[in-house]
Structure 1
Amino acid sequence: MLMDIQAELHTLQDKIQLALKLAEQSQTTAEVGAYQDQGLSVSVRQGEVDKVEFTRNHGFGITVYRGNSKGSASTSDFSDAAIERAVQAALDIAHYTAPDECAGLAEPEHMAQQILDLDLYHPWDLTPQKAITMAQACEASGLSQMNIKSSDGAQVGSSNSVRAYGNSHGLLVAYPQSRHGISCALIAAQDDKMERGGWSFSHRVADKLQDGAYVGLKAAERATRKLGSRAIPTGEFPVMYAPEIAGGLLGHFIGAISGGSLYRHSSFLENSLGQQVFPDWMTIYEQPHLLQGPASAPVDGDGLATYSKSFVEQGALSSYVLGTYAARKLGMNSTANAGGVRNLRCTATHSLEDLLGIMGTGLLVTDVMGQGVNLVTGHYSRGAAGFWVENGVIQFPVSEVTVAANMRDIFLNLRGVGEDVDARGNVQVGSILIDAMMVAGK
């Protein structure tokens, strides 16, 4: 059953206007966020239906400012009485919080003036039976492959939502969006060894999903290629991150240049604005207005209009990632990034084959494990699995190794970025080749 989008939009707008009116009556400024989600998710395992789940969730949150004192409250009850209680709770909390000169709404002149339509809403009239059939076909495709012995399941899902934001400056934004996906996880076995591999794909438009049979085959290929792993020597080698995990490296970089890390003095890139942090061929940028983009949004979490920008230009750090509060703490201007970056991209320099040739002998990492990332010092150390490469040719799978370096050195010593971009998520990047990292083998 599809959402009545117009009815949901009107409901959220009415509740936000009610909350803002109540806050105004108490001589406070306020900002309100609300959402309504509805979705269908189906999973199968070994051909049998494992779960059929219909979800409908909503939420409402308000933050009020008594001068520079802040109070926040939330509720999942959309009745007028519950909204009134939430507003009163936020007002009561603001009586007790210490003043913070950086707290408060963004300045009125900075509010978004035009709300772009980014083509984010494409409903899919998905029935449970159709979803079951698709998931079963996806899983069967993978199970038909050699060495695939079992399945961790296949899933098909669809969700629609409405997001709304309003504040005391008169801004009220509400828009719908959709997300549809298919995934599969399989187990490969050889002798007494078993390996798990999976694949998933999502899009705002159902017709643009990857074919279920392809997803199943991709999951099977990713599981079977891990079989027969061998030990490798410990030493310093070139390391390449495959596209599906390379985005994590850029994610760590974004974390290090984000306002919260900077004003808390917990980033190894503090005071690096304008400095060379990548090779001079590298540009890293966001495109929040991509039509149907996975993370596109017309406004940020403070109500400022989003815009395209570079964070790195010709290798130099050109911008931090700032919302209004962090910008005030740092004595700077917001970059309209409250809530994070949206549709992050970077320079591509080589084909995958060329990158492997440049690498020569080293480690191609396809999986990372553990939490060994320290943004304060820049130290990076994580468990890894992947493939050993010699003379630019993949030789055999590798598991149970550790890769380590300092992230400042990792970023400065990039050799290239592949054109084999993984286009499935917010951070879209190809393979990343690092000149050298310490690799600890068995």
Structure 2
Amino acid sequence: MSDQIESLTHALLDAARKAGAEAADALAVSETALGIDMRGGALEQAERAESVELGLRVMVGPRQACVSASDTRPETLAEMAARAVAMAREAPEDPTVGLAGLDEVARDPDIAALELADPAPEPDPAALEEDARRAEAAAAAVRGVSQVDVASAGYERRRTHLAATNGFSGGYTRTRRSLSCVAISGTGTDMERDWNAESRTFQTDLPDAAEIGRIAGERTVARAGARRPKTGAYPVLYDERIAGSLIGHLLSAVNGTAIVRGASWARDLMGQAVLPAGLSLIEEPHRPRILGSRPFDAEGLPTSRRALVEDGLLAGWILDLGTARKLGLHSSANANRGLTAPPAPAAGNVTLTPGDKSRDALLAEMGTGLLVTSMIGSTINPTTGDYSRGASGFWVENGEIAYPVNECTVAGSLPEMLRRIVPANDARHHLSRRVPSLLVEGLTLAGE
């Protein structure tokens, strides 16, 4: 299959040249996916999907267009190319459109060192069903769980190949094994739910199914009897499960697309403080066995480790070729791309400098406040950084968890929040975003 999708990308490029394209790149994706859902001790759903999909981007002068298909016949490739070229000729001009130079693209990357694909055979559906069944049973066995909403097990194997008329050609295979469980406590209007989920590149790295289910059940039971917290200004501790969302807002603010449009509160902050002194945010695209790792980006540029924030100061934007050219800069090799649209910048693996204290130690320091374990909805002004999100979690008094809370809103100024975060030391190292629990002082809570 690897040779097949590589051949398809080159066939697409040949068709694009014949149709009149001056430059082009082609993306081919071959995917196998299995999924099992269990509910009430019975198999609810079993799915298997296999597909080969193609994406073609063509350039005619300063214009470009994208088309996609799931039909690999030669006549379809020719039709794709003809339509793409016709569309490109009618597209608006963009002087920043264009491929990377041949001297810029990745050459002989060490893909094997990244361990992106598990060499083990595809799991048997019966093995996935057994994992989901064990997770469901473990959650149901937790005292106080009234039902298990669903337990799911899945497997994906995805082969991607990118080729372009500038001479670049490269691809790799990625695998993903996942298991999740959602449990419910109480009945009627007193119902509460929580979940647990894990995914790994290698099957052998996935935690035990029963452990995943047990944690889902215990989290759910801990939420029983939740009520609204007090209204006022209090410290908020973002649990490690959702702390990455705060850093995600920062990544959105330094994304080249937002900077080019002038629609970011961070647009004038290069070289200025966006995090507390001593904290850095490092992009690490070459971490082995991590879902966000990759040897090159969606424009064929080699990826490398770099600082987005260094010692609290903003050090770099997240750029692809297009946004870099608009800003008069060089791409940071952050191009991401689907089959139906041109590349756009997106961050991969990032690591925030950890603190030296545990989450419990930060709870003790905060005294009275809110521990957030779940967030609902989002009202964030990307230009000003005004922040308001629905939240649930646990009220903390005298440094200890007092009772579960829900139906509250956490509000503040995102730039100010980020400049005063205090990280714990509990980041999970298998995640693409390694972000520990984060304590933020002085946020506004709207509760009862």
Calculate the TM-score normalised by the size of structure 2.
0.94
Does residue 437 in structure 1 map to residue 430 in structure 2?
Answer: no
Gaps of 5+ in 1: 1-7
Tell me which residue corresponds to 1:347. Answer: 353
Amino acid at match of 2:3: H
Q: Could you tell me how far 1:299 is from its partner in structure 2?
A: 0.6
Alignment of 1:27-426 (within 5 A): 28-117=22-111, 118-122=114-118, 123-189=120-186, 193-339=190-336, 340-349=346-355, 350-414=357-421, 416-423=422-429, 425-426=431-432
Q: Could you tell me how far 1:114 is from its partner in structure 2?
A: 2.4
Amino acid at match of 1:116: D
Does residue 22 in structure 1 map to residue 18 in structure 2?
Answer: no
Amino acid at match of 2:377: G
Look up the SS of the partner of 1:419 in the other structure.
coil
Cα 1:22–1:192 change in 2 (3 A) is closer
Look up the SS of the partner of 1:422 in the other structure.
coil
The 10-residue stretch of structure 1 (295-304 or 113-122) with the greater mean CA deviation from structure 2:
113-122
* Alpha-carbon distance in 2 for matches of 1:342, 1:114: 21
Look up the SS of the partner of 1:355 in the other structure.
helix
* Alpha-carbon distance in 2 for matches of 1:393, 1:371: 28
Look up the SS of the partner of 1:108 in the other structure.
coil
1:115–1:173 contact (8 Å) kept in structure 2: no
Look up the SS of the partner of 2:236 in the other structure.
strand
The 10-residue stretch of structure 1 (356-365 or 322-331) with the greater mean CA deviation from structure 2:
356-365
1:64–1:70 contact (8 Å) kept in structure 2: yes
Amino acid at match of 2:267: E
Look up the SS of the partner of 2:196 in the other structure.
strand
**Stretches of 4+ moved more than 3 A in 1?**
422-425
The 10-residue stretch of structure 1 (149-158 or 230-239) with the greater mean CA deviation from structure 2:
230-239
Does residue 10 in structure 1 map to residue 15 in structure 2?
Answer: no
Deviations 1:23-62 (A, max 9, x none): 2342511011110100211111010000111111221111
Look up the SS of the partner of 1:201 in the other structure.
strand
1:229–1:398 contact (8 Å) kept in structure 2: yes
Q: Could you tell me how far 1:192 is from its partner in structure 2?
A: 5.8
Q: Could you tell me how far 1:230 is from its partner in structure 2?
A: 3.1
Amino acid at match of 1:436: G
Tell me which residue corresponds to 1:5. Answer: none
1:190–1:227 contact (8 Å) kept in structure 2: no
Q: Could you tell me how far 1:406 is from its partner in structure 2?
A: 1.0
* Alpha-carbon distance in 2 for matches of 1:17, 1:65: 16
Amino acid at match of 2:389: R
Deviations 1:298-349 (A, max 9, x none): 0111110011111000100000100110001111111111122221111111
Cα 1:194–1:124 change in 2 (3 A) is farther
Deviations 1:241-299 (A, max 9, x none): 00111001111100000011010111010021101111102100111011111211001
Gaps of 5+ in 2: 337-345
Report the count of equivalent residues.
434
* Alpha-carbon distance in 1 for matches of 2:72, 2:121: 26
Cα 1:191–1:95 change in 2 (3 A) is closer
Tell me which residue corresponds to 2:342. Answer: none
Amino acid at match of 1:173: G
Deviations 1:144-178 (A, max 9, x none): 11111111111111111101111111111111111
* Alpha-carbon distance in 2 for matches of 1:95, 1:398: 57
Look up the SS of the partner of 1:109 in the other structure.
coil
* Alpha-carbon distance in 2 for matches of 1:376, 1:280: 24
Deviations 1:66-90 (A, max 9, x none): 1111121111111111111111111
* Alpha-carbon distance in 1 for matches of 2:188, 2:274: 47
Tell me which residue corresponds to 1:3. Answer: none
Look up the SS of the partner of 2:79 in the other structure.
helix
Q: Could you tell me how far 1:429 is from its partner in structure 2?
A: 1.0
Look up the SS of the partner of 2:159 in the other structure.
strand
Cα 1:341–1:192 change in 2 (3 A) is closer
CA RMSD after TM alignment: 1.3
Amino acid at match of 2:447: G
* Alpha-carbon distance in 2 for matches of 1:190, 1:39: 35
Look up the SS of the partner of 1:199 in the other structure.
strand
Same amino acid, percent of matched pairs = 31
* Alpha-carbon distance in 2 for matches of 1:264, 1:429: 28
Cα 1:197–1:27 change in 2 (3 A) is closer
* Alpha-carbon distance in 1 for matches of 2:272, 2:128: 51
Look up the SS of the partner of 2:228 in the other structure.
coil
Look up the SS of the partner of 1:110 in the other structure.
coil
